Amino acid sequence: MTRLSVNINKIALLRNSRNSNLPDILTMAKDCVAFGAEGITVHPRPDERHIRKSDIPLLRQALDVEFNIEGYPSPEFIELVLANRPAQVTLVPDPPDALTSDTGWDTKTHQRFLIKVIEDFKQAGIRVSLFHNPEPELIPYTLDTGTDRIELYTGRYAQEYANGRENAVKLHILTAEAALDAGLGINAGHDLNLDNLAFYRRQVPGLSEVSIGHAIICDALYYGLQNTIQMYLHQLRGE
């Protein structure tokens, strides 16, 4: 069964647009869980334009579901994650000024760097996932980093879906198969939505978890947050 982790960055972005605590990030995170979310994802960035460092320990203490922290493994990020010990950390190769994550790691080029970072997280009991392009040829190098999972970057899949979904998902299937053969778990995320999620879930083998934020918050403007989360779960359950 594929689990749904709700990324609450856009909720925090709305809060930060005013000098107040509306919406309350802790209340919203707990409501997402009450409405059916099986995990909460955050991606703190250096400029703190949405999730703030100060949010992390409060969320960690308040949540009783999987907490996933995404980010580039800078010294500050590593310190933040080790201090709060989420269930999972997802490492992305974003530069500090990135608007959003739009590519995965080149695990061949950055293997040595990733090995040390991943070892430190795993010694702290934190599951590690690497943001990964649908490139099956990189899986042997990814395996050697010591990561537990990959998170397939689905942005290009979402862009190409309307022009031919079978072709759009082809490399994701091949990469997932290679990862499973290597003993790695499979997550996915970026621009998955109510139109393209069910097909992706049916096609990609071994999909453990999807992380979705932007589309859920956009849909919630029309359907309400509770209904929206249930609609996404419906897509994942094949009901």
Q: Count the helix, strand and coil residues of the chain and give each as a percent rounded to the nearest 5.
A: 50, 15, 35
Give the C-alpha separation, 134 to 152, whole Å.
6
Write down the catalytic residue from 43, 50, 132, 172. Answer: 43
The answer to whether the beta carbons of residues 137 and 175 sit under 8 Å apart is no
70 is catalytic: yes
Give the C-alpha separation, 28 to 220, whole Å.
12
Closest CA to 8 of 156, 225, 206, 186: 225
Give the C-alpha separation, 224 to 222, whole Å.
6
The answer to whether the beta carbons of residues 134 and 153 sit under 8 Å apart is yes
Residue 140 C-alpha from the chain's centroid: 22
Closest CA to 126 of 187, 92, 84, 94: 84
Write down the catalytic residue from 38, 70, 135, 151. Answer: 70
Neighbours of 155 (CB within 10 A): 17
Whole-angstrom CA distances from 239 to 232, 233, 234, 235 are 11, 9, 6, 7
Write down the catalytic residue from 50, 132, 172, 190. Answer: 190
Catalytic residues: 43, 70, 190
